[in-house]
Chain A
């Protein structure tokens, strides 16, 4: 059996665990319902004021993803390690002749798979509803949005796993994950805006401070898909167009990739040194 086979076996086990996770199901159903509602509102708006078509729906879906995907990825990732440690199932895994790193990567892959499944359900429902109501669904935009959301979900689940590997209890990990969600989705953005006003932050520094946040990097990548331009993001968007031009998308992807790589390294380091 290769190390990859081991990793896949653990990933399958984690997926099976996730499939019985009520929180995951609640988030999936919630995401699906909200995506459907937003799609219907978007379609209705397009009919009455003639604006936007699927772009209006896509804009709402991006806003929804910005909230839901981080919450799902962070909480699922953070609680997986802590719960397995507390209920003893981690010890069961670790007594097999496999490397700890293979187990952790397997757990991470399983969690990412679970997040993707939840997210695909939401986007799939939205696309189906939009098609059923006669609003054209640009397949390219939907696929690109789905891929970007998958990237965000991967980053968030990895950060969650790093939180789980760095805390001793599942409940602590969950608390830290919710705090991280608040920080990334709400407080970080407001804090940067507040700081920018208080210390007259140059627009370049403001832009990079914002984009360092993976959730904002996701927005930076997603918005041009339906809006056609970053202008809608205000001064930071204008700065990105003027200064970075075509390099904006690679920058956003690089930020998200870093938010996967760094937490993954941290999680592996912590996991290797933990007593079970």
Chain B
């Protein structure tokens, strides 16, 4: 569905992308992973025809440069920077977008309900919170029910609860869309992607399964265990005696552990007879 061959992009003398090859099969979901400036957003901008490049980029066989209108009609896009015409209301913004995408008003209301913005129609987009802007961007991306979604940090402006809802929504879209996403949340990669492409300095370093990402790049992560105060010291003792680095953090314990080591840490704490109230992975 999405094919990049030898994609190269320079900004002046700086290479944003070097000879990037990528194939995203129809119905699959691929996450682009890498540090800031690795070239993830440039890949998405190339597919949208926002930047000129060397090499080839196609979506469903349509060339992104010479047949950009056809390509963009197949794509729903959630940008990293959420900018709309600030004076337009939510309803006016959706109306404008749906007029260019030839979508009827009923469908527009459907997607606004899906993202929970149907009661904010009269609000100017300039007055929306970061989370609401993200929801609006997702609504606009879904308007034409596109077969391809390009998501550039789709949950970056959402709080934990909203992020969870959004991940659920995106998971449901995986069944009928081809997804190409960038994210800094390693947890989301596991939930949303079939495959991870690791970019560094504009080059594809490797491709792996989401479960292998931690091991391949050593994604820094910590396990946070929320415990009853009385259990904090016993938990710390059990962990350190098992050779697992841990420290106190308020009413909980932070465990420095990656990948499988996190499971081992949990086993140690549970094995010591300690009840765990909550578990979070911090990255």
Contact = CB atoms under 8 A, between A and B. Distances in A.
A6 B77 CA distance: 19
Given A273-B52, A275-B50, A276-B51, A97 B101 contact: yes
B72 A96 contact: yes
A92 B69 contact: no
B100 A98 contact: yes
A223 B102 CA distance: 49
A95 interface: yes
B83 A95 contact: no
Contacts of B83: 87-89, 91-92
A9 B102 CA distance: 12
A13 B85 contact: yes
A9 B85 contact: no
A17 to B, nearest CB: 7
B69 A97 contact: yes
B79 interface: yes
B97 A96 contact: yes
A94 to B, nearest CB: 6
Interface in B13-58: 45, 48-52
Contacts of A98: 69, 72, 100
How many of chain B's residues touch chain A, expressed as a range? 20 to 34
B158 interface: no
How many of chain A's residues touch chain B, expressed as a range? 20 to 34
A13 B79 CA distance: 21
B87 interface: yes
B49 A96 contact: no
Nearest to A6: B100
A136 B79 CA distance: 59
Contact of B51 (A5, A9, A275): A275
Contacts of B50: 91, 94-95, 275-276
B48 A95 contact: yes
B108 to A, nearest CB: 14
A1 interface: yes
A17 B68 CA distance: 26
Interface of B: 11, 45, 48-52, 68-73, 75, 77, 79, 81, 83-85, 87-88, 96-97, 99-102
